[in-house]
Structure 1
């Protein structure tokens, strides 16, 4: 009898425990937190910096799970590789939630997550590796990329068939899977329509949802580190500083130039690519450019300044090949733009200072000429800006003259200090 009582009591406890399990499970999930982190737009170094920061913060805040909401057409292979390493080394389980597209580098990131769930309309694949010009990469790079895709597919506990990952990266196939196809071949664990269904799949219904947001600085960083934007920033910066080499004082071209270079270095410094050595070299280059602008020397300070700035750009870059291409594009555009500005816009606005505007008056023989020795010490007036060469009028005659290295405005009193054959050297009269 006593034995039957014990058995009945044990069964009663089992039934009560079973009835209480949902409540314990609900209470546990209510205390859990899930961080949702967006993986959007182009995969590049700025996105890498954002994800590194967001995942680190999620772990420090005690997140129970991290969900990467992926919607990207792909991007840089090196950035995707670094992001994959961050995902693999995370101390918290990570699920890739493909909301729309996980193409190219986006597919690689998704395959490195612990789980993959997809929206019914989402796609994943088409992971061909291309170079900076949009052409298919070489055989070695292609083979390495296909191997990385296979490794990513096999790295998770789901042990996905690597042939599909290779087909995604093969230029002749470029396999792209929709949600149902991915679910059928075990490249996705579930098809979901919203975050609530993601949490249900993870068994974390009712968990607190924490959404990581891209800060203004990170948005700016992502923009200025985009491989398509870097050549534009370098071009504007180069043209602006080059204009300042040929104009006295400091004006609008210099502001645009410094602003563009400032954006470039801010983005790379914030992303962690530029160190203090790059900033110091940049400052040195700007100081040398400033010396050239103020004192209008023989060009040596300007050349050294530009060399320092170019060196700092290389030190701040995250990809030597990409920055070489960007600098080359910028240099070509700078040369073309400079020629066009001189040819077509020399008489407009501030460009008037770059082009000789005053034509020399017809020379009329006054009946007697002034000897070379008599010119020395005499004071005339500059007809044009002397930078350092230009025209001077003296005793009713026009002379081609040069200064002793200092810029002289038009309509200034100048004194002849030496004459050597056809070369007449003048100095401004204070």
Structure 2
């Protein structure tokens, strides 16, 4: 039970640290605005996913709290998840602060959609925007229903600021032919900075941030840059759709391996750390609440009760159910969480089978099965072996029908006849000894 208490204490400390870090990064910033105009610079970089969404939501809220006059979203992204892009686009549209999307390198796929949701767009020379077709998890074009919805979203985003929607549609639909902009049939449209300016998809083409601020009339404004914190960096990584099944697999494998090792060692630390990162990242991103963490801990406790106090499987079933439910509560996508749990479960089943086959029942698992052996080599015997009696001749003290008593060298023994009936006071010969069983036959 010491191992149980140690594991529970470790997990409690881990989740206490989670709440501490979460509260630490959510401490309200100083809302005292400096004199003059305030411009917030917010980076929109790397993959568009739910961790980025949480960062941008916080950054826009900070800008609103400080009374910023303008927000510049500096975009450099190859695209990402459609659901995250839709939520981020809502953040862009719903703020009362005027926004500018500044494409510093590329705004591809979901990045182009985000840029179109800003009030205006600026691009640096040599940058491009477009190629926004929806693809599935295998890298292939999505189904007609998803594609149609995405084309409608791109068209709506273009129309927000009176841009010609044909170019946004061509970015998402390869069947739209705009040959003058290099997008022949079967190709997605991508606009360079000069092309975007020509068709009204960019209001400015500027060399750098300073030139953009000058064009916007904020050359003397106070610049406030939104920096992504370490915790938000971690959240962006661990909430990535590819990383989630890896974390869940490492968590389950680590805890399973811990059952086969004495004490609380590296496998347990690995498993607890992976699960900590899963819940920590989803908490920072705003997906996981205290209810999911409490349910997860309760599930672990129920499983430990099942392991150390074997019953009818009720505690184990409830524990597994509570853990799975906690992960769904912490997830941003039920479908993706189902896939991630199935991957982790498959790997866990394979690992358990291999461990049972290779190592047998080790660690706490051996508490469920009697492991002690009572062999004659270790001094445990249920009877005294009498092999030395084989071949000796005695006489029957009682009739053998087929069992009875015989006398051999003045020692009374219980015996059974080899087959037939043997009368009293007949010569008998011991022909076999099977444990405590002495077999005799009538001797001439």
Per the normalisation by structure 2, the TM-score is: 0.70
Instruction: Provide, for residues 232-260 of structure 1, a one-character-per-residue CA deviation record: whole Å limited to 9, x for no partner.
Output: 00101111223345556543322222211
Q: Deviations over 1:342-363 (max 9, x none)?
A: 556x4xxxx993799xxxxxxx
Where in structure 2 are the equivalents of 1:325-404 lying within 5 Å?
A: 325-341=339-355, 346=359, 353=362, 387-396=368-377
Determine the C-alpha separation between the residues in 1 that align with 2:239 and 2:83.
13
Contact 2:248 / 2:344 at 8 angstroms: preserved in 1? yes
Which of the numbers 155, 161, 167 marks the counterpart of 2:164?
A: 161
Match of 1:21 in 2: none
Return the alpha-carbon distance in structure 2 between the equivalents of residues 268 and 324 of structure 1: 16
CA distance in structure 2 between the aligned counterparts of 1:397 and 1:190, rounded to whole angstroms: 89
Q: In 2, Cα distance between the equivalents of 1:239 and 1:141? A: 36
- Residues 1:273 and 2:282 aligned together: no
Give 1:31 deviation, angstroms.
Answer: 2.1
Question: 2: CA distance between counterparts of 1:243 and 1:387?
Answer: 16
The match for 1:306 among 308, 317, 320 is 320
Distance 1:71 1:343 in 2: 51
- What aligned pairs does 1:78-117 form with structure 2 within 5 A after superposition? 78-117=83-122
Deviations along 1:165-211, one digit per CA (max 9) or x if unpaired, are 01111144321111111111111111111111111221222222111
Query: Shift in Å at residue 396 of structure 1?
Result: 3.7
Q: Tell me which of 132, 137, 142 is aligned to 2:137.
A: 132
For 1:204 and 1:396, the matched residues in 2 are separated by 91
Question: For 1:38 and 1:228, how far apart are their aligned partners in 2?
Answer: 23
CA separation in 1, counterparts of 2:271 and 2:311?
A: 21
- SS of 1:393's equivalent? coil
1:239 and 2:253 aligned: yes
SS of alignment partner, residue 37 of structure 1: strand
Match of 2:147 among 126, 136, 142: 142
Task: Name structure 2 gaps, 5 residues minimum.
Answer: 1-34, 175-185, 381-444
1:182/1:341 CA distance change after superposition, 3 Å? farther
TM-score by length of 1: 0.73
Provide the secondary structure at the position in 1 that maps to 2:298. Answer: helix
1:193 paired with 2:174, answer no
Q: Are positions 1:63 and 2:96 aligned together?
A: no
Check whether the contact 1:116–1:188 (CA below 8 A) recurs between aligned residues. yes
SS at match of 2:373: strand
Q: Secondary structure at the match of 1:260?
A: helix
- Structure 1 unmatched runs, 5+: 1-29, 357-384, 400-430
